[in-house]
Amino acid sequence: MEQPQAEMPRYQCHKQVWALPIREVRQSPASTVFPGGSWELVPGDDRYAPITVSHEWYLKHSPQPGGYYVVYADGYKSYSPASAFEEGYTPVSVEPKASIEQEIQAKGLTAPRVTPADIEAEVVREFYFTAFEGVDGAVAAMSSNSEAMVLVDADLAPLRLLTFCILALRNGFTVTGESACASPENFDPEIGRKVARQAARDKLWPLLGFRLRDQLHARERLVAMPGVAHQQV
């Protein structure tokens, strides 16, 4: 006799993500960073710059105006239709850094600046590995060398607790971050990657700040030149 089919267990999503609604999806030309072509996702909020994604990402996710560009805590970037996203996620209280961002917006400080979305828009690729994985790969590459390094377990154990993140940027530059765990019992790969990514991400603030200041300085010099009309450039 057939057993009655019981309802499957229910689960509720508890992840926190970063997301922006998409107003427009437009194609961009090929470049050295995106030799296969790229696309721009124009956020519905004018405070955020367009987000460039690869053609491969576009084909995989098929983003549409009205949907959401979503960034997960581990750095994975995805797309969600509006109905699915809004049914599964609600706004949450923000962390201190995000609170500062809200305060900036609330005070109407609208002059050019670097925003969190600008930071994420620069990242096109990210890679993670432990020091053990890096050294293990290097030793394997040297295996044909008679003077190849010989390591014992005691040498390798601490390397398993050190996690690296490499963020590849739109212009081909890279930044790195790392996370070291003091107690082996506390090591968690996912947390290690998150901390390493945050460390790498933090390095982008001064780099983008310098670039923006350089652009503003060039504009200021142009406006100050004799014979140049004082207009927005």
3-state SS, residue 140: helix
Looking at residue 92, its pLDDT comes to 67
Task: Say yes or no to pLDDT of 94 above 80.
Answer: no
HSE-up of residue 99 (Cα within 13 Å, Cβ side)? 4
Higher pLDDT, 32 or 87: 87
3-state SS, residue 217: helix
The lowest-confidence range among 70-79, 97-106, 212-221 is 97-106
Question: Any idea what the Cα angle at residue 122 is, between residues 217 and 130, rounded to 5°?
Answer: 130
Residues 73-82 have pLDDT tens digits of 778 899 999 9
The lowest-confidence range among 21-35, 112-126, 174-188 is 21-35
For the whole prediction, is pTM greater than 0.85? no
Looking at residue 16, its pLDDT comes to 78
Average pLDDT over residues 44-56: 85
Task: Say yes or no to pLDDT of 107 above 80.
Answer: yes
Residues 147-166 have pLDDT tens digits of 555 665 666 788 989 999 99
- CA nearest neighbour of 201 among 100, 78, 116, 131: 116
Task: Say yes or no to pLDDT of 108 above 70.
Answer: yes
Looking at residue 233, its pLDDT comes to 44
Task: Say yes or no to pLDDT of 20 above 50.
Answer: yes
DSSP string, 5-36: PPPPPP-------EEEEEEEEEEE---SS-TT
Strand ranges in the chain using DSSP code E only, listed in sequence order: 18-28, 38-43, 51-54, 68-71, 77-80, 123-130, 162-169, 174-180
